[in-house]
Amino acid sequence: MRSLRAAMALSLTALVLSGCGAARDPTAPYCPGTGRDPSAVILMAQAVPSAAFVPCLSDLPAGWTFGGERLRNDRPEFWLDSDRAGFRALTVSLTRTCDISKAVEVPSETGALELRRYEEPDALPPTFFGNRYYVFPGGCITYRFTFNRGGAYTQVVEATGALSFVARAEGVRALAEAGVTLCGRGVRCPG
């Protein structure tokens, strides 16, 4: 527990000192409870303090790897590479709002009533490009698919199966237990 507190405090300090700039040593934003460092998820939550949810990785399927991340105010993102769909085949970003005017609402597979899912395909196979949006109070998570020629829709299912969401309220509670205050939605910031 002490190492988790120290990692979170160090990550938050790095965030403040860097001004939410690009991370030098990319750390995958693993979901809490996976047994891996959740520091990047905390940084993403702090970058968009209005967001009720934050995207995270549960586990990567065969052929998919964490490609990198860019943590900045108002638009943190990370991407996944695939041995079949290509380099940066999926980019996941968190923003306060998103333009869903060209997208179609579809039932959300998450089961969370607050998350509304929209699909916006730009190009269908043999080359797949498109966006998936999850809209919720105070934020939007966008999945941007940019598959190489020959990338199959089954790879969309694989990649999105590795992704999940963590409610900001859960992270705030966990950090409070560790003695750290995460400012933003539902929490007044000191000062």
Has residue 191 been placed in a domain?
A: no
Q: Residue 140: how many CA atoms within 13 Å on its side-chain side?
A: 17
At 131 the pLDDT is 94
Has residue 92 been placed in a domain?
A: yes
Q: Would you state the structure tokens that stand for residue 187, as one six-digit string?
A: 């929490």
Place of tokens 């002490």: 2
Has residue 182 been placed in a domain?
A: no
At 28 the pLDDT is 87
CA angle 21, 22, 23 (to 5 degrees): 115
List residues bridging with 20 in a β-sheet: none
Domain that holds residue 157: 2-177
Has residue 114 been placed in a domain?
A: yes
How many structural domains is the chain composed of? Answer: 1
Is 24 buried (19+), middle (13-18) or exposed (0-12) by CB count in 10 A?
exposed
Has residue 183 been placed in a domain?
A: no
Has residue 190 been placed in a domain?
A: no
At 142 the pLDDT is 97
Query: What angle separates helix 168-177 from helix 39-47, to the nearest 10 degrees?
Result: 120
Has residue 109 been placed in a domain?
A: yes
Question: What are the E-state strand segments in 125-173?
Answer: 129-136, 139-146, 163-167
Has residue 64 been placed in a domain?
A: yes
Tens-of-pLDDT digits for all 191 residues of the chain? 344 343 444 344 333 333 333 333 357 888 877 777 777 788 888 889 899 999 999 888 899 999 999 988 899 999 999 998 899 999 999 999 999 999 999 987 766 668 899 999 887 666 678 999 999 999 999 999 998 877 777 888 888 888 998 888 776 666 666 666 666 666 666 55
Whole-angstrom distance, CA of residue 110 vs CA of residue 70: 25
